[in-house]
Amino acid sequence: MTATTRADIPGAARVVVKVGSSSISGDGAHRIDTIVEALSRAHGAGTEVVLVSSGAIATALPLLDLEGRPHDLATQQAAAAVGQNVLMWRYQTSLDRFGLLAGQVLLTAGDLENATHRSNARRAMERLLGLGILPIVNENDTVATHEIRFGDNDRLAALVAQLIGADALVLLSDIETLFTRPPSEPGARPITDVAWGDDLSEFEFGAGVVNGVGTGGAATKASAAKLASTAGVGVLVTSADLVASALSGESVGTWFAPHPDPVTLSTGPVGAVTRAGTLSA
């Protein structure tokens, strides 16, 4: 059942949760346990959960003695190869407490633009979910180039939610809610609910690098939320620290109501639109 309000999230059959790099790397690495506990509780209640996790490159920085996110593509790819392995180990170690198994799914935008690859990705995730496994999705940074990148994992999460026909999408980061302008500026007001069709052009969403390790920001989350809600997926944007509250349907974060008559933006030919709750096959 599509979640039309926050309160519907606990009863959703399938939920995609996305967490950003800065929330689970460096001093924030302890949040992996917090997130896994909340996901495991939802899984135990009968919800199928897919986790989209950034953080591979950020996780590798201290291991490679790199002071900041590398700028050259080759070093980014190398860091991703190291960090993805460690990140998955951290997730699986945490999941072991609940007797759950993770399955790694690495994608590029090119995979979702190709009908065969898209079908393969959907089939693999459906089977993982059917086996009771937690799919953990990330961009395949080791092979991704500028031309085949999603741009940010918020967009990837929105596309994955469409791909598998999720009932809700939860975007987690360092912020509890979106604001009408950067919260440090005078007059900034929290946005609690965005009805379908609301005009967001008057709001000033910040964007850019978060804590020197992640890419994205409020603008990417608002954009991804609009993309997913267009496809009929309700979206909640909130803090990683509030993941348990988010999955329990509490009044936290910013809620984007789903389109009542969903139209899905296809990742096939530019401008293609299909009527459905998932990407075109």
Q: What is the pLDDT of residues 123-164, one digit of tens each?
A: 999 999 999 999 999 988 888 766 556 767 899 999 999 999
**CATH code, domain with 112:** 3.40.1160.10
What integer pLDDT is reported at residue 127 of this predicted model? Answer: 98
From 81, 256, 251, 242, select the one nearest 169 (Cα to Cα): 256
74-88 tens-digit pLDDT: 898 899 999 999 999
DSSP helix/strand/coil, 18? strand
Owning domain of residue 203: 6-274
Evaluate whether residue 233 is within a structural domain. Answer: yes
User: Is 240 within a domain?
Assistant: yes
Q: Is residue 18 a known part of a binding site?
A: yes
Whether 163 contacts 118, CB under 8 Å: yes
pTM of the full structure:
0.88
For residues 192 and 255, the answer to whether their CB atoms sit within 8 Å is yes
- On whether residue 1 sits in a domain, the answer given is no
Find out whether 280 is annotated in a ligand binding site: no
- Which pairing describes strands 208-210 and 193-194: parallel, antiparallel, or unpaired? unpaired
174 has binding-site annotation? yes
Return the structure tokens found at 257.
């109501």
Flag whether 94 is in a domain.
Answer: yes
Structurally, how many domains does the chain consist of?
1
85 is in an annotated binding site: no
Flag whether 281 is in a domain: no
Q: Which of the residue ranges 177-181, 218-222, 248-252, 273-277 would you say has the lowest mean pLDDT?
A: 273-277
